[in-house]
């Protein structure tokens, strides 16, 4: 298999986790691109926490509606069958378990499934809806690069940055591996096609359980 850009590997692999009919909330940044890589027969319903379900593609230039934006404030659209609501209902949907999957970016994920993704020291500017999403969604998938720009592991023993939620992450997908968080700990499920388990472990500060069979991340 030809080399694939790391961020593209992540979003393509995450896309495989989604099933038709699921209500999905995707965070700003990397997760946004997951929906571009769904299989042709997978139809999901996107929840936008500023107040609607059935979010569609961004409108073509010139067709923007100032009253219809996504949670990042960017022009958006709504598909037939969608619905608008107020912010209390939007987060009743989130907190009440009516979102099947949330896909979020991360700054750190630790071996206990704790997530830090909203603040760095000296820059605490707000958690937005992330804390509600991570606590409320039935399944929490973190899509992030494995290491910081200066090479430190973001998959850590214990998060040092301010937490978003405790023990809520179900799956972590990086450009190196797929980690599942279970009651027994963080389990290495898959590794990228061009790396070894040893290389993943070397890049990972967290303690990982290595099952007898570790798959290979396959994207088409």
What is the CA angle 13-92-26, rounded to 5? 20
Nearest to 20 by CA among 49, 3, 41, 51: 41
Least CB distance to another protein at residue 112 (A) = 11
Question: In terms of CB distance, is 164 or 174 closer to another protein?
Answer: 164
Told to check if 51 binds another protein by CB under 8 A, we report: yes
Q: Which residues contact 98 (CB under 8 A, 6 or more apart)?
A: 23, 92
- Which residues are within 8 A (CB) of 7 and not within 5 positions of it... i.e. 6 or more apart? 30, 33, 145, 175
Binding mask 129-148 for another protein (x = CB under 8 A): xxxx--xx------------
Q: Which of 12, 18, 26, 52 binds another protein (CB under 8 A)?
A: 52
**Listed residue (198, 192, 191) closest to 213, CA to CA:** 191
Least separation in angstroms between residue 137's CB and another protein is 10
Q: Which stretch binds another protein (CB under 8 A): 56-64, 84-92, 194-202, 207-215?
A: 84-92
Calpha distance 135→133 (Å, rounded): 6
> Is 65 near another protein (CB under 8 A)?
yes
| Residue ranges of E strands in 6-77 | 23-26, 45-48, 52-55
The H-or-E segment that residue 116 falls in is: strand 115-116
Q: Which stretch binds another protein (CB under 8 A): 48-56, 171-179, 183-191, 193-201?
A: 48-56
* Shortest separation between residue 95's beta carbon and another protein, angstroms: 3
Given the rule CB under 8 A, which residues bind another protein?
20-21, 23, 43, 45, 47-54, 65-69, 71-73, 76, 78, 80-98, 114, 124-132, 135-136, 162-166
Q: Give catalytic residues, as residue numbers.
A: 49
């Amino acid at each position: 298999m030809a080399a694939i850009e790391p961020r593209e590997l992540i979003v393509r692999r995450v896309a495989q986790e989604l099933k038709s009919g699921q209500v999905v909330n995707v965070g700003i940044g990397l997760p946004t691109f997951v929906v571009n890589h769904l299989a042709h027969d997978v139809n999901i319903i996107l929840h936008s926490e500023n107040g609607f379900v059935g979010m569609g593609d961004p409108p073509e230039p010139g067709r923007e509606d100032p009253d219809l934006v996504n949670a990042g404030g960017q022009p958006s659209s709504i598909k037939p069958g969608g619905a608008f609501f107020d912010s209390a209902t939007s987060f009743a949907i989130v907190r009440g378990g009516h979102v099947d999957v949330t896909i979020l970016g991360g700054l750190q994920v630790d071996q206990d499934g704790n997530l830090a993704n909203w603040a760095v020291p000296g820059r605490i500017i707000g958690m937005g809806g992330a804390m509600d999403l991570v606590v409320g969604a039935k399944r929490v998938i973190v899509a992030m690069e494995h290491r910081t720009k200066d090479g430190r592991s973001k998959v850590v023993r214990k998060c040092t940055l301010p937490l978003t939620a405790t023990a809520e992450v179900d799956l972590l997908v990086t450009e190196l591996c797929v980690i599942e968080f279970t009651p027994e700990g963080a389990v290495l499920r898959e590794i990228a096609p061009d790396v070894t388990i040893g290389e993943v472990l070397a890049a990972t500060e967290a303690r990982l359980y290595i099952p007898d069979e570790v798959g290979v991340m396959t994207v088409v």
